[in-house]
Structure 1
Amino acid sequence: MRIEHSFEVSAPLERAWELLLDVERVIPCMPGAELTELVDDRNWKAKMEVKLGPMSLSFRNDVRLEEVDEGARRVRLTASGREARGRGGAKATVVSTLEERDGGTRVDIATDLTLSGPVGQYGRGIVHDVSAQLVQRFAECLEAELTSTPTGEPASASAASVDPATARPVPAAPARTPTPPPPVQAPISGASLVARALARSLARGLRAAAEQLERRAG
């Protein structure tokens, strides 16, 4: 199934693009996601937890950065994994595209998702509603990251060097420490979404039954 979402952040395009390429900071912004291993500069391992009603799902995923298009400001990631308790699997291709918008940045996310096994029983409506919650909190986390100091806080200055022309010490510029990734966010709970989906299903069944009775009465 294909799922599309869009949101805007207040940061300029260049800063948003820089953050989007920093996968180690982006992954923890997704609720329930945690980076577990850095394989190389294009491959990672991560886990993802989601609650759907009484079922708590935990996926172990391989994440790969497939494409970076600087000109189009587009990034393509793929992720695939199995549920830890054998409840199925998931494969996703996620394409994120950035566009300058009134001094800020518009982010368009298109996801092609395939679910297999027991987790595949959930319909498009539930999956879309859960993904909408995920993207909303993801956007809030990105906004928080973008409004923080982008290059880290100054660390203690290193020893001063000496200008050979004057033999005077030259103060060293303070070093900067890398910006740490955001804390892991708690997974979302889809209990209310499941309940709404069941209610919609029941309503459809009642409407169908009522229509059938009307046809018989006519």
Structure 2
Amino acid sequence: MLKLDGIHTFYGSIHALKGVSLEVNQGEIVTLIGANGAGKSTTLMTLCGVIRPKQGTVTFNGQDITRVSTEKIVKLGVTQVPEGRMIFPRLTVIENLRMGAYLRRDPDGVKADEEKVFGLFPRLKERRGQYGGTLSGGEQQMLAIGRAIMARPSLLLLDEPSLGLAPIVVENIFDVIVNINKAGTTVLLVEQNAQMALHIAHRGYVLTTGEVHLTGTSKELLENPQVRAAYLGLE
């Protein structure tokens, strides 16, 4: 479904991605793990058109989208849940969700998907009329994921969904990610909580200073001594 081939991305003179190549097959959960500054978020921003690579190609469902606008990439079926949630604080929960469907022209389908989101996150249904800025961090993350679902993506990009959340909320969020995937949405997950990410993913890539350092199945990475020592806190 998705292929990055030899991606080089710069922030000014800073060489952020140095030849990153990766693939995501339809139906998979693939995770990118690595330390702060490894290039994980930059990879997502590059593939969804926010940042243009200086070299390399991004292909989605066989189409070269390297120079395609972010709006058109969303229309093709790629939606991102950004780091830090980025919900609209002065809009209500239901208004935030409808912003995720702003490109759609099927009101009955939008209404059905609202109920789908409320089924995944019952707490949002309880707070449907509440302003986004008054929600807890966990509820805002639920809202950010729900808003992305409203676009009906075939590929969902998640950037650090566990950041700053209590462990019990993290477990809930990751359970929902698995359910979204089982319902047919492919997922590319950027996550510092390597243990949780690798336990739900099919495959993973380890980024180190802008380069793919390791790749393999989740089982292989969980058993890899380098990964265990550097990212799982295990000997």
TM range (shorter): under 0.3
Higher Cα Rg: structure 1 or 2?
1
Which one has a larger percent strand, Structure 1 or Structure 2?
1
**Structure with bigger RCO (C-alpha 8 Å, 6+ apart):** 2
TM-score (normalised: structure 1): 0.25
